[in-house]
Chains A and B, each alone.
Chain A
């Protein structure tokens, strides 16, 4: 009997464990702040992505349970908005701006250079899990075009050369040593 009870993890058990899980602290805080109202869904998904780097099915199940929303609705919202990702990110994140100013300043050539060198297209992560390449619609740093975000830092007036150097430094763990 006891082994059975342990093996079958009911949604309620799972939810109960997460309400106390420190990793879910931000998610729980946001839901509580909004009184567990369904309109808190997007805010909660933001908290989940900030905490885990992506939104997993398990997290979506938990949120749907806590906000009393069907899982399909949580999934619909998580997949509708470009900002949310269901795929776990790489260790480092390079977000290329593809806004108009960056585009005419040569953002596409930077993208091509990265794809050639590291064999990743936007939305993909290198096989060693080091770098995720993403694109953004506009970072609002048009004065510095072409711009990109490296981890959390916005950098501007980029060239394929200095972008590739940054990515290579990440793969070579320059900052770690």
Chain B
């Protein structure tokens, strides 16, 4: 089956008129985080009550992430837009029946809360408003129109230049210009090419990709299909973590529905363009976020990186040119084509365009999923959106980029969050994990935590990474035990330099970052551990026990 534009519009209109039958809509957050704290299936319970009370004018539907994960389970009621937090079965009835005698959950007005007003959702445009398991709802909000535009009205070259002009950069962490990456693959002469969506979100403390896949899987599929058309690929893989069963399930549903509607498969929109998608499950290897390792893993091999060049753009899966982008990058594509590259380039900073999704977590009052324009300062994110430090703590540092990133201390709170600014103080944008630390965290311990992560996630192929991370870990461990000397610090810095400059892939090259960054801003804590056998934060128990 192949859709025409009229049929696509028909589906949208039908869905919209279905929705108009209801005067009230109750949206229940059904992303993993909220689901895990519901005491029973909230959607089902509410639907059952609505049926019993014959409330035909109220629609109760599961939606994707509503953002404010810490206050879950969340339910939002429309058209008012009120958001209810910590909703459990006994309090949910009050929302539905609006009877004052019933116990009510606490309500938040998103229009008044800085958590919501400071955001600018592009990637998360449909998150929390559509049912991720119904393709009709995605089509009703204009979904797959960009794909139609691309295939029927645009030349691949036009799409490439649109993406290039938009200034979109890879959201996986490195920030390589997406347009350049696409052009490199498009330029190759091969008849067989592939597109890979990297959803192997291995950074501890990051859940952006999971949320996007759980909340709006079709936006990623559409982005991938457009990429396939632009670069001349006919097949794609989504490499997703097996640890995200709900995301996998929603992706499978989404692919099945898109295939049924002819939005994936052969002759999409009656053109000569074919595009098929396959899901590949990751198996818990952080290194598989690296381009060449992900390819090895998709081929059924241990996920070990190989030297580049050749880059995947010329030789990837089965030796064919392969385009690899992150989930968030693909989710940006359809809005860019619909609203134009100039609109996108108007958001953000000079060199970092658009928005960035962050997973805000740690010692902050409002944890959750946020999307802000590039260049928003760290202070705005933590104190306006995040509501400040929890439990009346004091801000100590923010960790970005996970094990490849660094810590941002107090004196840099006003740094704009963009690729260049973060790199200038030794951190990285990373994929979007943002962990807030307060006075109760020991920076040496945090560095040790990440180094322990790198030692166990190092694939073992190259010596600097395999042995170097282990040696760095040993020194850090010695410091936290109060058994180190000042000369160990020098050796640690030498090792950082060596591992960074001689490792084969990104994992090893960036593994010293957490150490270097904590040494740069919190050197006194290291010294205090070494000279006074004292841990200022009181975390390293072997020291404080003395």
Contacts and interface: CB of A to CB of B under 8 A. Distances in A.
B233 interface: no
Interface in A11-45: 38-43, 45
Given A100-B362, A104-B441, A155 B205 contact: no
Contacts of B280: 42-43
Contacts of A82: 283-285
Contact of A77 (B69, B202, B301, B359): B301
Interface in A38-79: 38-43, 45-46, 76-77
Interface residues of B, number: 54
B32 A154 contact: yes
A83 B243 contact: yes
A153 B40 CA distance: 12
A138 B283 contact: no
Nearest to B298: A39
A40 B362 contact: no
Interface string B32-60: 11011100000000000000000000000
B383 interface: no
B512 interface: no
B201 interface: yes
A111 B382 CA distance: 29
Nearest to A76: B302
Interface centre among A76, A105, A142 (most CB of B within 10 A): A142
B156 interface: no
Contacts of B450: 100
Contacts of A136: 243
Contacts of B361: 100-101, 142-143, 145
Contacts of A155: 36-37
Nearest to A69: B300
Interface in B12-32: 32
Nearest to A138: B204
A46 B32 contact: no
A144 B453 contact: no
Interface string B267-302: 000000000000011111110000000000111111
Contact of A140 (B206, B281, B285, B367): B206
B243 A103 contact: no
A107 to B, nearest CB: 10
Contacts of B285: 80-82
Contact of A143 (B69, B202, B437): B69
A143 B70 contact: yes
Interface string A126-166: 00000000001111111111010000011111000000000
Contacts of A154: 32, 35-36
Nearest to B399: A100
Interface string B374-405: 00000000000000000000000001001000
A137 B286 CA distance: 9
Contacts of A114: none
B493 interface: no
Given A144-B36, A156-B33, A99 B205 contact: yes
A18 B143 CA distance: 45
B244 interface: yes
A42 B36 contact: no
Contacts of B368: 143
Most buried by A among B36, B72, B297, B453: B36
A98 interface: yes
B300 to A, nearest CB: 4
A170 interface: no
B207 interface: yes
B289 to A, nearest CB: 12
A108 to B, nearest CB: 9
B525 interface: no
Nearest to A43: B281
Contacts of A139: 243
Contacts of A100: 204-205, 361-362, 399, 402, 433, 435, 449-450
B242 interface: yes
Contact of A42 (B206, B244, B281, B286): B281
* Most B-side CB within 10 Å, residue of A38, A41, A98, A139: A139
A71 to B, nearest CB: 14
Nearest to B362: A101
B213 to A, nearest CB: 10
B446 to A, nearest CB: 8
Contacts of B32: 140-141, 154
Contacts of A42: 280-281, 283, 297, 300
A42 to B, nearest CB: 6
Most buried by A among B32, B361, B368, B441: B361
Contact of A147 (B36, B301, B302): B36
9 contacts: A38-B300, A40-B300, A42-B283, A46-B242, A82-B284, A100-B402, A105-B362, A142-B367, A142-B433
